[in-house]
Structure 1
Amino acid sequence: IAGDTATSEAAVLHAMDAFEATHGRAADVVLLVQCTSPFLTSAEVAETADRILAGAADTAFTAAPSHGFLWRGTTEGAEGVNHDKAHRPRRQDREPEYLETGAVYAMAAPGFRTHRHRFFGRTALVVTDPARVLEIDDPHDLARAKALAPLLDAPVTPGFADVDAVVLDFDGTQTDDRVHLDAEGREFVSAHRGDGLGIAALRRAGLPVLILSTEQNAVVAARARKLRIPVLHGIDRKDRALKEWCEAEGIDPQRVLYAGNDVNDLPCFHLVGWPVAVSSAHDSVRAAARAVTVTPGGAGAVREIAAWLLGPELDTPVRADAARTTPARTTTEP
Structure 2
Amino acid sequence: MMADDSKPREGHFAALILARGGSKGIKLKNIKLLAGQPLISWVLRAAVDSGEFDSVWVSTDHDEIERIAIEWGAKVHRRAAETSRDQSTSIEAVHEFLRFHPEVNFIAQIQCTSPCLHPWHLQGPCRMIRHEGYDSVFAVSRRHLFRWKEVTTRGEVTDPENLNPAKRPRRQDWNGELYENGSFYFATRELLMQGLFQGGKVGYLEMGAEYSVDIDTDIDWPIAEQRVIKFGYFGKTKPQGVQLVVFAADGVLTDNMVHITASGEEFRSYNLSDSIGIQSLLSNGVTVRILSTEESVNHDKYAKQLKVPLVMGCRDKLSVIEQWRSEMGLEWTQIAFMGCDTPDIECLKRAGVSGTPADAQPSVLTASHFISKLNGGRGAVRDFCEYVQLVMEKAKSAVEQEESNTTK
The interval holding the TM-score normalised by the smaller chain is 0.5 to 0.7
Match of 1:81 among 122, 143, 161: 161
| Aligned position for 1:103 | 183
1:246–1:253 contact (8 Å) kept in structure 2: no
Once the two structures are superposed, the pairs formed by residues 213-252 of structure 1 within 5 Å of their partners are 213=292, 217-224=296-303, 227=307, 229-232=309-312, 241-243=316-318, 245=320
Moved more, 222-231 or 156-165: 156-165
Using a 3 Å threshold, how does the CA distance of structure 1 residues 112 and 154 change in structure 2: closer, same or farther? closer
Once the two structures are superposed, the pairs formed by residues 20-31 of structure 1 within 5 Å of their partners are 20=102, 23=103, 27=105, 29-31=106-108
Structure 1 residue 267 displacement after superposition: 3.2
Once the two structures are superposed, the pairs formed by residues 105-184 of structure 1 within 5 Å of their partners are 105-113=185-193, 115-153=194-232, 155=234, 166-170=245-249
Secondary structure (helix, strand or coil) at the match of 1:6 reads coil
Structure 1 residue 81 displacement after superposition: 3.0
Using a 3 Å threshold, how does the CA distance of structure 1 residues 9 and 301 change in structure 2: closer, same or farther? closer
Using a 3 Å threshold, how does the CA distance of structure 1 residues 192 and 33 change in structure 2: closer, same or farther? closer
Query: TM-score, normalization: structure 1?
Result: 0.64
Moved more, 210-219 or 254-263: 254-263
Moved more, 45-54 or 174-183: 174-183
Aligned residues: 288
- Identical residues among aligned pairs (%): 21
Structure 1 residue 168 displacement after superposition: 2.1
Distance 1:77 1:283 in 2: 58
Using a 3 Å threshold, how does the CA distance of structure 1 residues 172 and 33 change in structure 2: closer, same or farther? same
Distance 1:33 1:45 in 2: 9
Structure 1 residue 93 displacement after superposition: 2.5
1:254–1:271 contact (8 Å) kept in structure 2: no
Using a 3 Å threshold, how does the CA distance of structure 1 residues 286 and 258 change in structure 2: closer, same or farther? farther
2:325–2:332 contact (8 Å) kept in structure 1: no
Match of 2:174 among 88, 91, 94: 94
Structure 1 residue 154 displacement after superposition: 6.5
Distance 2:286 2:191 in 1: 58
| Aligned position for 1:272 | 350
Please tell me the residue identity of whatever aligns with 2:282.
Answer: G
**Aligned-residue RMSD, C-alpha:** 4.9
2:250–2:256 contact (8 Å) kept in structure 1: yes
Structure 1 residue 63 displacement after superposition: 0.4
| Aligned position for 1:44 | 121
Match of 1:18 among 83, 94, 100: 100
1:260–1:277 contact (8 Å) kept in structure 2: yes
Moved more, 50-59 or 124-133: 50-59
Using a 3 Å threshold, how does the CA distance of structure 1 residues 161 and 249 change in structure 2: closer, same or farther? same
Structure 1 residue 45 displacement after superposition: 1.7
1:48–1:104 contact (8 Å) kept in structure 2: no
Q: Which protein has the larger Cα radius of gyration, Structure 1 or Structure 2?
A: 1
Question: Is there any run of 5+ residues in structure 2 with no aligned partner, and where?
Answer: 1-82, 373-378, 397-408
2:136–2:185 contact (8 Å) kept in structure 1: yes
Using a 3 Å threshold, how does the CA distance of structure 1 residues 258 and 232 change in structure 2: closer, same or farther? farther
Structure 1 residue 11 displacement after superposition: 2.0
1:260 aligns with 2:307: no
| Aligned position for 1:62 | 139
Distance 1:78 1:261 in 2: 60
2:325–2:331 contact (8 Å) kept in structure 1: no
Using a 3 Å threshold, how does the CA distance of structure 1 residues 104 and 219 change in structure 2: closer, same or farther? same
Question: Is there any run of 5+ residues in structure 1 with no aligned partner, and where?
Answer: 204-208, 313-334
Query: TM-score, normalization: structure 2?
Result: 0.54
Deviations 1:230-274 (A, max 9, x none): 4225x7xxxx53145458889699568353375778636544323
Using a 3 Å threshold, how does the CA distance of structure 1 residues 159 and 216 change in structure 2: closer, same or farther? same
Secondary structure (helix, strand or coil) at the match of 2:350 reads coil
Deviations 1:110-133 (A, max 9, x none): 2333x3211223322211112211
Moved more, 164-173 or 6-15: 164-173
Using a 3 Å threshold, how does the CA distance of structure 1 residues 156 and 58 change in structure 2: closer, same or farther? closer
Distance 1:145 1:126 in 2: 21
Once the two structures are superposed, the pairs formed by residues 278-293 of structure 1 within 5 Å of their partners are 281-282=357-358, 288-289=368-369
Distance 1:196 1:129 in 2: 33
Structure 1 residue 144 displacement after superposition: 2.1
Deviations 1:11-66 (A, max 9, x none): 2222222221xx4xx61x33221111111222222222322333453322110112
